[in-house]
Structure 1
Amino acid sequence: MTATKGYDNKTVQAIRGTEDRAIAKWEAAGWQLVNREQGAFRTALTFRRSRPKKSLAAAAALTFLLLVAVGGLIIGLIFGDDENTTARPTAATASSSPADVASSAQPSAPTPSESTWEETEDADLNFEETARFRSTAGNSDIPLEITVGSPVSFTPSKAATVFDARAAVGGEAGELHEANVYFTVTIRNLSTSQAFEPDFVFSDVTKTGADDQVSVVLEGDVVGMIGWPQVIAPGGAFILKDGYSVQDATAIEYTLDIDGLAGQSFHFSH
């Protein structure tokens, strides 16, 4: 997220054909669409919103309170009783043993995830393995764990939504091919304080026998990448099914991009 005078700016990458859903999501959160740039597979949507203006009255009141506090401190130093200038131990301090004081001064032990968690260096993994990635988009520092399950065959109905994943213009209707599979994708947010926004999580498949003929399939609980929530809460997880229709899924490889171009791509296969 960037900032200009009086505004905060945010750019979101949306899969072609899903722009309206992304726009509605961010406008509901108080952002205004100011620009859209269409790419081959994704559209960059730029939003902005006004920064809250600081209240002059509140600022003046805070300044007055600070002046009063400083004035009171100065008067206390000048006219204060010498006998009161020497700090006296409180009953709690006097009753505390040296061992108690030493124990309370030590920091609490880190949780296992903080002490043992390391990023995954190898981008090529097997299905069911877990990739570890630290999202640093914006000012965040969020450790994530990503797991992708093996492809599962399914039969889409005539009511399924099918997009051509290779169309130059997003949102083009696609066709069903010989093999239809979905992948179960799980993202766990291990941060204890920061929510993760999965706006820059994208997927693709290769080694399909004809990589130029691939369709995205959406139906029922197979919701694809547009099914991510607005945020994944600290300590939370989210699971979705990502569906594809391809010529051959025997040796299919699934790619998941995290944090867009600034992040990393993980490849899952058998």
Structure 2
Amino acid sequence: MADEIAYEYKTVRTVRGADGLVISKMRKDGWELAGQAQSGLRTTLDFRRPKKPLPRFLIGAAVGGLVLLATVIGVAAALENGSEKEGRSSKPPAGTASAVPSATSTPTAAASASPEVITDQNNPELAALLKTPDNCDRANVDFAAKYRGRTIAFDGSIVRMSPHGDYKTRYDFLLGPGDQGPRTGVGPAFRYEDKSALDLNLSGRSSPSAVRVGDLFRFVAEVGEYNADQCLFFLDPVSTASR
């Protein structure tokens, strides 16, 4: 039917507790949640969104291309019947094939333009945030609003970790910039909520088998929301390298 909506679909698998962040991020890109299923600590999310209609100028170009192709085929047949050289009749297909690389070069260029990881070396706002003396400072709100969904990296330590609810292997981690652990007195109160040690994606030459308060790491994480009432800056771990 002409008015029927055509959809494209995507399935995303994530760990429990991070599904809300994934759903929010996908909705920003126009996806809607079509289904959700949990299996142990994993959540499978099914999304869909309407396919974009083909622009009219592209439809016209496609029709024009078909007409041109038919013309080329007709000319080639005429030349062949007229006993022309085989080399001359082969030129139109060669010209048609040469257009393929130029059409496929655009996705490659777009893929190479992915946003870089934000650090205190390439972003003055993050550098200032990590040195803010008050974790309730307005700078937290502004940074979270501007860079939500982006990836940051910083040297820090575990300030505190406590069991999440009744779980024995899942924790709420409080992180701070620098090397002071529980004595951290500057910067945001970064929080990983409802995470296990596996969720931290530990790496590095001396990657520990367990984590504890005071451990030093290079944290790479996705920026989440800032809770002004609790003065907590939520992050989602990407990788955690020991220092």
Give TM-score, length-normalised by structure 1: 0.33
Larger RCO, structure (CA 8 Å, separation 6 or more): 1
Q: Going by fraction, where is helix more abundant, 1 or 2?
A: 2
Give TM-score, length-normalised by structure 2: 0.36
